[in-house]
Structure 1
Amino acid sequence: MSTFFPCAEPPKAHLFMSHYSFNSPKDLHSRAILTHPFNHKIQVFLPTAHSEAIEATLTEALLRDVHYYHAHIPLSLFLTSTFMQYIRNGMVSLSIQGGIDTHDVVCLDGKGKLILSLTKDSYEQLGLIGTPSKFYPNRQRYVVEVDLRAPSMIPGKPGFERIKWCFENTLTTTFPMLLVSVTPEGVSLPLKFPDSARATKLSFNIQSTRLDSILIPDTTTIRTIGRNDLRWRKSVAELYEWIGMSAMQSERISLGDRVDSFLCVYSNPPQTTAEPVGSSGCLIEISGLIPSQSVFQIFESLRSVLPELVDPVWANFTVWGFQDAPVSWLGREHGHLLSGENMYSFFIWSSNLQLHDKEDPDTGIYVLLESVATYDEHS
């Protein structure tokens, strides 16, 4: 970056690590999942060859109960009685035309809040009060938030009629959008659209890939070390990098790889054995507009299936957020700049998902990583 902006500091992304327990009353894992509404991909890595049974368990509920829609709709449609009911039921939607840095992007966060991230020209034409974006200089971008569940959002009320007039006369763009509405248990609710919306009902894309003869790291140190001993951070960072290599199906983690260190300096984390041993694993990927309730149900399914495996194993559960979503966790403003990442990743173990007694040091430990771009208030 210094080549292009010699007087500016390089933009910094952030990686937050938490060493925590499922037995804690703070319930950090639920909060991390359920407060992140816009998710487009889940990846599960399991260092085991039992991919078919596990994939069936993780995706059974999705295949039966969850779908989402792609439609072309104006914002005024959200103010109709039918869609106001969908919004009260927790509908989530995100426009997918153009980037958050350069185009108008709108979303519904599942709690009734309509968020408009607008260019300066669109904001000045809209006629509603907003605030300058925290990430773009010289007031070139604005954010407008409308609480569609507010008591004043009733047809005939001045506030409602003002918003309706603006959506019908100033910001009349038809946005291509992804929409989904689910129950707290992650079961889809049907949505009906006018013919002009050209709505399409979509299912999640699910695929499983087997990885053979790979060098699987030893995670015992991470699982058993005390949370106040900061050595676990180095081990987690190495394991997180290894997960990235496995996601790319890189040959660098394969048994017998002999790449020249001049070409690649990567080295695998230590294994449980002194000599390299090849093992099997599987990658399960689910993509689409995945609401947080469905993410949570898949995560809980993973937790339930791990103890049933013959050999105790660990697993990685990674979720990617939409890079051009206007908000990330807890409705905090999000931008893109260079990368736009807003993702999180769990490491969990099959041997510590249950409650343990005081003499057992293994008390439901898991590790949570949150990767946040420069333009994100969560950082």
Structure 2
Amino acid sequence: MSGDLDRTPRSLLVCDRSSFLNEKNRLSSQVEQLHFNYKVSVLLPECSSAPSHLDAAFNSFSSFYLIRELPIHELLEKHFLETAVYQGSVYGVSYGTRIDEDNCVALMPNGQLSLSLDKDSFELLGVEGKPSRFNHRTNCRFVVSIDLTDSSMAPGGRGYQRLVTGLTSRLRLKADFLLSHHPGGGASLQPLLSRYDWSEHRPEVSSRTLTDLSCPALLTSDLQSRDPHGFLEWLGAVDAHVGCENSSSSFLSSLVCPEPKTTASRALSVSVCGLLLPQDVHRLIQQIRRYLEQPRLESWASLTVHGFVDSPVSWGGSEHGVLRGGENFYSLLMLPDHTYHLHLATGAHDTCPP
């Protein structure tokens, strides 16, 4: 047996407790720093259907585009830079590529372009980069980070021309690409889209009503004595349709609901999948807060946001790596008294979340 298989993979979990009423809480900036989200999961105990304002938030996530075989040099096209990158927040990430094997690309809302390349591709490109921090014994992978808003990268400049030449003459890098733009929507992307095979997609919303759900008894905001790993495991099991009864007749799961626990007669589980923008996640959080303000409601709500496993970056512009799991997610537990618990997690190959 491989020595790696008998060790629990290293992971990082940062826990933050604060209040929405605290002007110094960092929640907004933390939400904004996970740029590339593919799934949002919400759990509402003692709820069978979402009120209209919350249902509207689930269904109002921005649409996104899938462009087939996009030449990456198109992201440097002058008109695209002027109408999209310079004017708003563009989110773009290569689709179907694997961060541990393929060349991967991300365009961040601050205009930063990140290329995660194998050694041969990096040498062909011929621009400055650095070895991946996830190389083991030899430098077999490299990262190129370019600030497209920097004056040295203005169209016609030396740095700009060198990168364009590399991507058009030496390394003709193409990838299926997911692209979204806030706040301009698709108008600023149309000239680019018109030149390639593309399709527009709406995030997919699905919901389930659960009955007699065993769940933690979160009666107060004091959760310091609880095991956050156990709580997150339970949330993940509920979202993945895995039972936590741990009965003697079942060998599928040994997961259990953390103690002390109670039983919710009903609960609503909702998920949204696609290229999900942080701005839309933040708006959903505000609507969940509004839901928790109902005078007869004495409950809580959780929201979990998963980043793309194979994105070249995770938190902010930090390099993302995959060896076993590729996790980069956060889970927000919200309580009626406006307090919240935020858990930020990454896998074995990431820096500490913010």
What is the TM-score when the length of structure 2 is the normalising length?
0.90
1:130-209 alignment runs, 5 A limit: 130-137=129-136, 138-183=138-183, 188-190=185-187, 191-192=189-190, 193-209=192-208
- Give the match for residue 82 of structure 1: 79
In the TM superposition, residue 69 of structure 1 has moved relative to its aligned partner by 0.3
Q: Secondary structure at the match of 2:208?
A: strand
Number of corresponding residues? 347
* C-alpha contact 1:76 1:168 (8 A) present in aligned 2: yes
Aligned residue number for residue 70 of structure 1 = 66
Q: Does 1:29 align with 2:27?
A: yes
SS of 1:31's partner is: helix
Change (3 A) 1:146 1:334: same
Counterpart amino acid of residue 218 in structure 2: T
**What CA distance in whole angstroms lies between the structure 2 residues aligned with 1:11 and 1:239?**
19
Does the 8 A contact of 2:20 with 2:340 survive in 1? yes
State the AA in 1 paired with 2:63.
Answer: H
Once the two structures are TM-superposed, the CA of residue 58 in structure 1 deviates from its matched residue by 3.3
Distance in 2 of aligned mates of 1:63 and 1:263:
34
**2:111 corresponds to 1:112:** yes
Equivalent residues of 1:71, 1:176 under 8 A apart: yes
- Output the amino acid matched with 1:68: F
TM alignment of 1:262-301, pairs within 5 A: 265-270=254-259, 277=263, 279-301=265-287
Change in 2 beyond 3 A, CA 1:6/1:18: closer
Task: State the superposition RMSD in angstroms.
Answer: 2.4
What is the identity percentage for the equivalent residue pairs of Structure 1 and Structure 2?
28
Counterparts of 2:78 and 2:132, CA distance in 1: 31
Contact 2:34 2:278 in 1 (8 A): yes
Partner of residue 42, structure 1: 40
Q: For residues 100 and 12 of structure 2, what CA distance do their matches in structure 1 show?
A: 20
> 2:210: which partner in 1?
211
User: How many angstroms apart in 2 are the aligned matches of 1:194 and 1:207?
Assistant: 29
The within-5 A match list for 1:321-336 is: 321-336=307-322
Secondary structure of 1:279's counterpart equals: strand
TM-score of the superposed pair, with normalisation by structure 1:
0.84
- Structure 1 residues 293-327: Cα deviation after superposition (integer angstroms, max 9, x where no partner): 11111111211222126322101100000011111
- Using the alignment, how far apart are the partners of 1:5 and 1:96 within structure 2? 32
Question: What is the CA–CA distance in structure 1 between the aligned matches of 2:193 and 2:267, rounded to whole Å?
Answer: 46
2:125 and 2:170 in contact (8 A); partners too: yes
Match of 1:92 in 2: 91
Q: Which amino acid aligns with 2:342?
A: L
Distance in 1 separating the partners of 2:196 and 2:96: 15
Deviation at 1:109, TM superposition (A): 1.1
Residue 199 of structure 1: how far off its partner (Å): 1.1
Q: CA deviation at 1:107?
A: 0.5
Letter paired with 1:79: L
Contact 1:132 1:139 in 2 (8 A): yes
How has the CA–CA distance of structure 1 residues 309 and 177 changed in structure 2, closer, same or farther, with 3 Å as cutoff?
A: farther
Aligned to 1:19: 17
1:369 corresponds in structure 2 to: 343
Letter in 2 for 1:290: L
1:152 shift after superposition:
2.5
Kept after mapping to 2: 8 A contact 1:252/1:259: no
Deviations 1:155-187 (A, max 9, x none): 22212211111111122122100000112xxx7
Given residue 349 of structure 2, which amino acid in structure 1 is its aligned partner?
Y
Pick the aligned partner of 2:3 from 5, 22, 36: 5
Change (3 A) 1:52 1:196: same
Match of 1:57 in 2: 53
**Contact 2:46–2:264 (8 Å) recurs in 1:** no
- Provide the residue aligned with 1:250 in structure 2: 242
Q: Give the Cα–Cα distance (whole angstroms) in 2 for the partners of residues 319 and 263 of structure 1.
A: 26
How far off its partner does 1:49 sit? 2.5
Residue number in structure 1 paired with 2:326 = 340
Aligned pair 1:238/2:224, yes or no?
no
Contact 1:97 1:105 in 2 (8 A): no
The structure number with the bigger radius of gyration is 1
Q: Quickly say closer, same or farther: Cα 1:328–1:44, change in 2 above 3 A.
A: same
Structure 1 Cα separation of the partners of residues 193 and 47 of structure 2: 47
Task: Tell me if the contact between 2:242 and 2:253 (Cα under 8 Å) persists in the aligned partners.
Answer: no
Match of 1:361 in 2: none
Gaps of 5+ in 2: none
Q: Which structure has more strand as a fraction of its residues? A: 2
Deviations 1:9-32 (A, max 9, x none): 754112222222223333221122
Distance 1:375 1:39 in 2: 18
